[in-house]
Structure 1
């Protein structure tokens, strides 16, 4: 990890953009607080891949207490920037460095387009968390995911590339600072390189890709297609990375 990322955790977005200008591939490990004990999380942190640049913390049904505990343990064992990836506004903890301020653009459930965001303001305005406005697109990964169940929305078909591209671009036009293409935890297959490439060509903001990435080839394919930051969760938990 570069010294910039270590020394400027409160400028997470700026360091991501700076890394992109240097053609640096960014890599995040996602920890779902529900899936770890204190001991197992500590052990996993000792095994972080050397190319890890960020830690994401969150899950669709994790509690605030679980999230807070996980962030505290992570902060004790690494200086990497810790970014909240909340499934609900009640999952917010002030001890992280930043939060993905997600808007689920791929679905039409107002709760996850704007209502959750409004509910979070009373908490966020009194914190030092860096807020990262993020357009979140759920892409079909071949299996019903927790995000799909909780949000009660359908993922976008990987066959409809034009719709995915237009949704991502609409997110940028709305002022989002990041676009996140998500196949979902436990996806049978990741977001295709064709989709990643098409979206990257259309937008001018950083692109995050996650879900279903289990092999080094899939990781490299995502980067080659244009992903700036790739997120891995289940594969790391199972010892693949």
Structure 2
């Protein structure tokens, strides 16, 4: 079970690196390069998806599963992104916004498919944090991010998500964010939770990755930077593996 692995890693104070692969930005020739690197430098979690996807997801999932032995987790923008060949899915509730479709509407559509195909759902509270520039998530979701300078709102939102029974909190500044989520916000949210905390957006080098872990992130999500230079995966994996709390 993917979530059991995450929980056990957090209990052991082991940090996890999640690589997010956007099907639209990874043509076959680039995927060959990426999978060759991933055989040597393994992130702990493989995520596939994004806010707006026009390329079929299933072929990419099949490609990854045929060449790598890690489970593949779907990060869906909407129910149309569902595919039966994934091992797990981030069952996202966008608790930072007030769009009812992203709080429960899409879930009702997706739930039967997930159950019928025996996909592991990971109930995740998704929180969009202002990263200093407009993002695809903000536009597509029609919601406003939590202000970067208001960590108290982020804390209260995360606590509410845990009280609602969510199993994971994912704070995201958005793909290609100008600014990472601040150490203060990460630390305050982490101290308020008893469930794992995932952080993404703007983590463009190993130093920012380490800073996120030092602030309290249990899982760091990276992706945009690797679309430009897949070789950076090696340094991110090394930084994660060598991190000592």
Q: CA–CA distance in 1 between the matches of 2:103 and 2:26?
A: 29
1:86 equivalent in structure 2: 76
The offset of 1:95, in angstroms, is 0.8
Matched residue of 1:149: which SS? helix
Is residue 2:106 matched to residue 1:116? yes
Partner in structure 1 of residue 202 of structure 2: 212
Contact 1:42 1:77 in 2 (8 A): no
Q: Which runs of 4+ in 1 moved over 4 A?
A: none
- The range that moved more, 113-122 or 45-54, is 45-54
- Do structure 1's residue 60 and structure 2's residue 51 form an aligned pair? yes
Q: Deviations over 1:24-79 (max 9, x none)?
A: 1100110011111122112112123725101000011214x621111111111211
Tell me the SS of whatever aligns to 2:169. Answer: strand
1:40 aligned onto 2:30: yes
Q: Distance in 1 between matches of 2:144 and 2:60?
A: 30
Q: Determine if the alignment matches structure 1 residue 21 to structure 2 residue 11.
A: yes
Alignment of 1:1-241 (within 5 A): 11-48=1-38, 50-63=41-54, 66-239=56-229, 240-241=232-233
Deviations along 1:85-111, whole A, 9 cap, x unmatched? 000111011111100000000011111
Please say if residues 26 and 227 of structure 2, whose CA atoms lie closer than 8 Å, have aligned partners that are also in contact: no
Secondary structure (helix, strand or coil) at the match of 1:125 reads helix
- 8 Å Cα contact 1:53/1:81 also seen in 2: no
What is the alpha-carbon distance in structure 2 between the residues aligned to residue 36 and residue 236 of structure 1?
A: 10
For CA contacts below 8 A with separation 6 or more, give which structure has more relative contact order. 2
The two structures have a TM-score, normalised by structure 1, of 0.92
Measured after TM superposition, the shift of residue 122 of structure 1 is: 2.7
CA contact (8 A) 2:114 2:120 kept: no
Scaled by the length of structure 2, what TM-score is found? 0.91
Unaligned runs of 5+ in 1: 1-10
Following the alignment from structure 2 to structure 1, what is the Cα–Cα distance between the partners of residues 141 and 29? Answer: 31
Unaligned residue ranges in structure 2 (runs of 5+): 234-245
